[in-house]
Amino acid sequence: MNILILGGGGREHALAWAVKQNPKCDRLFVAPGNAGIAMLAECADLDIMDGAAVVGFAEENAVDFVIVGPEAPLAAGVADSLRAAGILTFGPSAAAARLEASKAFTKEICDACGAPTAGYARFTDRAEAEAYIRARGAPIVVKADGLAAGKGVVVAMRVEEALDAVADMFGGEFGAAGAEVVIEEFMTGEEASLFVLCDGTEVLPVGTAQDHKRVGDGDTGPNTGGMGAYSPAPVLSDAILARTMEEIVRPTVAEMARRGTPFQGVLYVGLMIEGGRARLVEYNVRFGDPECQVLMLRLGAQALDLIQACAEGRLGAVRANWAEDHALTVVMAAAGYPGAYAKGSQIRGLEELPEDSSHMVFHAGTAKRDGTVIASGGRVLNVTARGATLAEARDRAYGMVDAIDWPGGFCRRDIGWRAL
């Protein structure tokens, strides 16, 4: 089958790498792709936010199956356009993508199906939001309703911080995403993520992971898109996992189906775990980045069979085969990230690294110039390894990091510390 993957980050490199190993895969296109993806797929220059353009490309190139990586095209209805054209697609409709695109919508679903989450209130009026914050006190969490590229959440330790966040959001800092604000109870505990394939009715967990959001060692400094991740997440024990499926995931999927907007794709379930029980922090409607990289290294070629069964509504008929293994990924970023950073620095030493079922450097923001790989984004490489233990996976990943010659980059040295 000919496959098109939409996206061009480390997540899409990992998806392409797994899909390509499956003998079912004939031609593989990725739009827009990056320098790493170009080594295993045909990169296409295509506006992935434009449903008609994606359908046109798929028809011209006899694409049988489209896998959508990031949330933006999903929220924009690209999966709807593809399905309307009769093209098999992995990823939710725009209506179901509201689970990520609107925090207020997710809260409404939790209320309707009884899923445990932080207590909250919704506001479209600044004065009312401020009065609520003063009455509740800190710590308190302020969230812009819509998609804000991960920057729309302020965990305020002081009342003034929460008031400033409300002022920014209603002041237009997040555009339309901030027209409504959700104010939540601050939850304590340990965070972890669960990834579940959903075909509208059936569900299949495909792994757990934990990431490191802060830029600096010891979880210090500003938030980023993620500086590293590992799978499985030891805090998500089998018992908590089973309870989370029953209390959160299945009720959500049933409620979405009941509303006539079934969820098809991967549900990224962000959880806060305390006292043997998980509460929902957020949903995303796509694989995490860099969490996908560790999941794909562990799943390998079967990922395509599972994702395809999901898109075809046959999840009840497939199973994931897990090795008792661990995977860990270290993000190498351009100096300055998540603030201003330079593009164009050269990266050497990648060719000499092992590339097999236990070692893989996924590219996030890279390009090629005169035959050498250069940095073209903030998060640039995802150095990923697998092992019988998490410590072995970590040592292999950092062994590769140390062999990469990139003076313009940096990484955290403590990925996995909590679990180790």
Site string for ligand AMP, 265-304 (x = CB under 6 A): -----x----------xx----------------------
Interface residue with ligand GLY among 33, 92, 265, 288 (CB under 6 A) is 288
Residue 281 binding partner per list ligand AMP, ligand GLY, none, with a CB distance cut-off of 5 to 8 Å that depends on partner kind: ligand AMP
Selected range binding ligand AMP among 37-45, 54-62, 183-191, 298-306, rule: CB under 6 A: 183-191
What DSSP string describes 23-67? TT--SEEEEE--TTGGGTSEE----TT-HHHHHHHHHHTT--EEE
User: From CA 45, how far away is CA 39, in angstroms rounded?
Assistant: 16
Binding-site partner at residue 282 among ligand GLY, ligand AMP, none, CB < 5 to 8 Å by type? ligand AMP
Tell me the C-alpha distance between 67 and 345, whole Å: 31
The option from ligand GLY, ligand AMP, none interacting with 288 (CB < 5 to 8 A, set by class) reads: ligand GLY
Asked whether the beta carbons of 90 and 67 are under 8 A apart, the reply is yes
- Which pair of tokens denotes residue 144? 């812009």
Q: What is the largest CA-CA distance in the chain?
A: 61
CB of 288 to ligand GLY, least distance (A): 4
Three-state DSSP at 201 gives coil
Q: Which stretch binds ligand GLY (CB under 6 A): 176-184, 282-290, 395-403, 411-419?
A: 282-290
> What span, in angstroms and rounded, lies between the C-alpha atoms of 282 and 219?
20
Rounded to 5°, angle at Cα 16 from 357 and 226:
85
Tell me the per-residue interface mask from 327 to 366 with ligand AMP, x by CB under 6 A, - otherwise.
Answer: ----------------------------------------
Site for ligand GLY in 195-214 (CB under 6 A): 211
Q: Choose the binding region for ligand GLY from 117-125, 283-291, 340-348, 409-417 (rule: CB under 6 A).
A: 283-291
What whole-number distance in Å separates Cα of residue 257 and Cα of residue 96? Answer: 9
Minimum Å gap between C-beta 77 and ligand GLY is 21
Closest distance between ligand GLY and the C-beta of residue 354, in Å? 25
Site string for ligand AMP, 105-124 (x = CB under 6 A): -------------x------
The three state secondary structure string of 265-331 is: EEEEEEEEEECCEEEEEEEECCCCCCHHHHHHHHHCCHHHHHHHHHHCCCHHHCCCCCCCCEEEEEE
Query: Cβ(218)–Cβ(243) under 8 Å?
Result: no
Answer whether the bond into residue 338 is a cis peptide, omega within 30°. yes
Decide: helix, strand or coil at residue 75. helix
Q: Is 226 in the site for ligand GLY (CB under 6 A)?
A: yes
Shorter beta-carbon distance to ligand AMP: residue 168 or 191:
191
Rounded to a whole number of angstroms, the minimum distance from the CB of residue 239 to ligand AMP is: 23
Site track for ligand AMP across 190-209, x = CB under 6 A: -x------------------
Q: By CB under 6 A, name the binding residues for ligand GLY.
A: 211, 225-226, 284, 288-289, 291
